[in-house]
Structure 1
Amino acid sequence: MKADFWVGTEREDAAMAVMPIGCQPPLRARKLNFLATSSAEEMIRRCRRTAMLLPELAEALALQRADQKGRLFDITDYPDDEKELITHALGEGEVAGVAALSNGITARMQETVMAGVWRIRFTDGDGRLVADYVEVASIPAVVRQVCSALPSTISHGPAPAGAMNVMPVLTEIRDRIGRYRDGEPAHVIAFSLFPMSPEDMTFLQETLGAGPVQLTSRGYGTCRAVATGARNVWSVQFYNAMDTIILDTLEICDIPSVAIAAEEDFRDSEARMREIEEAYFR
């Protein structure tokens, strides 16, 4: 049986794609190369708020630790040309995501080429921008916020006809949820290691439900991490170049590590931010 925790994942994910695969040059190269053009020189001369923002971001990166709360920089009221320049200066990195808030607001997150620096745009139900931030953090605060509201227990009825291993899996999940503490290593359940019938998977999906966050990482391969409806339970799937699932897992953790900036990322990103500021904004 093909591993796939979420039935129809490939079709459904396409509708939520936040970083589609393409054949163009990497975004980071195209974004940063713009700064060396004559068009960018004129934009940089008139966009002084962006020039002031970059050293502030570098300072925040110098102080940031992976286990600490991040720092937000509100650019909601910046003029459009300032926002465009910020987009060019920061570029787009490997991790993106979507988080649905209970009040109908949607947060769309994009890590920049500097790991640990995020652009987060909040839109209402009609797609209107209501807030725009740059955040220095291991993961945007909104991800932890919406996930913390999820229930920390699961309940279900008897196993359905045709079930094979779903009940032991649910027992393992319930036990791990109860014992998990933030910051502990993830506990991984790999569906490729034991047989799960379609009835098993359907019952597992119905029991856990769908959560409010989807994160996509496109590094050496594609990984999609989707929060379930239970706190600290994530569907984490790895794809090959043909967008076929090669590893299907559940992770019991606060946030899957594939999407989190590490301690050394902040130091590297600080150096890179200062290089960009020095080269183009002074």
Structure 2
Amino acid sequence: MKAAARVGSDGAEQAVSEFPLGLKSLDVIHGGLTTVVPPVKCAWRGGDELAGDRANAVALLSKAAAAASGQRGGARTQLYGLANLSDLERTLIAEVLGEGEVAGVVALPDGSLAQIWESVLAGIWRVRIGTEPAHEYVEVGAIPQIVRRAATDLTSTDLVIAAPPDGAMNVLPVLAEIRERARTWRSGMRAHVINLTLLPMNAVDLAFLHESVGNGPTQLVFRGYGTCRVQATGIRNVWSVQFFNSTDNIILDTLEVGGVPIVALAADEDFEDSAERLREMIEVYAT
């Protein structure tokens, strides 16, 4: 998160914190390195090419539809690997599921990256670890488990607060609040939201805040009428959640202390709708 500025209602510039974001790629900062991952593109083929090589793909999608029908946000996700499928079958799955408005990356301890993108059906995800088809799978759930695991296993349990630099104004109370909330938060508790947009913090404050919490292993980007970016910080259970308008200016800048922010999760009511739509799509390819 870097220091930036926005124009307030009174016409004056106000400081905001901003994690790096490329509109044509996802930037993940982990271990001091920046890796740019191009958006994943599906390979599209005509129906005739897929007609003779789709049984396994249809079976997998049918299992995913059945799983989605009974899925709930708090339940364990269900995974369906693509390792045993042919290239054409994987292409069919990509064609049916498509690409929704959510994409993300997770930096793993071995230096590899997991690419995540939600399908056009909420709560049904595609995940690829590295570049090998053997490490690609479809996952049904509120959010892929790899997001939760990385945010827990690859982050620090404590926030160390050093002496602030010259020019800092109000960052120490904010850091103390973050540290206390992160220490006491437990699964099932409501998230605690700190609205940085409304706080009287200058660029020095925000830069020191970023330096203190650091960058975590996970970044998710949601694109619709505007953009929402969810980034794990280097502190366990602390997330940056930022909203941008259609011209890519920050309009809401927050830190959340809790589990994966709710804005990133598929809702319970999404699953049955996605299951029904997927069953309808499968019928088209199965006949």
Quick check: TM above 0.5?
A: yes
Q: Which residue in 2 is equivalent to 1:43?
A: 50
Unmatched segments (≥5 aa) in structure 1? 21-26
The correspondence of residues 1-282 of structure 1 with structure 2, limited to 5 A, is 1-2=5-6, 3-6=15-18, 9-10=20-21, 14=25, 16=27, 39-123=46-130, 131-149=135-153, 150-282=155-287
Unmatched segments (≥5 aa) in structure 2? 7-14, 28-35
Q: Which residue in 2 is equivalent to 1:23?
A: none
Shift of residue 4 of structure 1?
3.2
Q: Which residue in 2 is equivalent to 1:24?
A: none
The answer (yes or no) to whether the contact 2:123–2:143 under 8 Å persists in 1 is yes
The answer (yes or no) to whether the contact 2:125–2:144 under 8 Å persists in 1 is yes
Aligned counterparts of 2:283 and 2:148: Cα–Cα separation in 1: 34
Shift of residue 128 of structure 1?
5.1
Aligned counterparts of 2:88 and 2:264: Cα–Cα separation in 1: 30
Shift of residue 188 of structure 1?
1.2
Aligned counterparts of 1:243 and 1:83: Cα–Cα separation in 2: 34
| Two-structure CA RMSD over aligned residues (Å) | 2.3
Give the direction of change, closer, same or farther, for the CA distance of 1:129–1:50 in structure 2 (3 Å limit): closer
Aligned identity (percent) is 44
Aligned counterparts of 1:227 and 1:279: Cα–Cα separation in 2: 39
Aligned counterparts of 2:101 and 2:23: Cα–Cα separation in 1: 21
One-letter amino acid of the structure 1 residue matched with residue 54 of structure 2 = C
Give the direction of change, closer, same or farther, for the CA distance of 1:93–1:154 in structure 2 (3 Å limit): same
Q: Which SS does the other structure have where 2:17 is aligned?
A: coil
Aligned residues: 265
Shift of residue 45 of structure 1?
3.4
Shift of residue 176 of structure 1?
1.0
Q: Which residue in 1 is equivalent to 2:33?
A: none
Q: Name the one with the larger strand percent.
A: 2
The answer (yes or no) to whether the contact 1:97–1:109 under 8 Å persists in 2 is yes
One-letter amino acid of the structure 1 residue matched with residue 56 of structure 2 = R
One-letter amino acid of the structure 2 residue matched with residue 186 of structure 1 = A
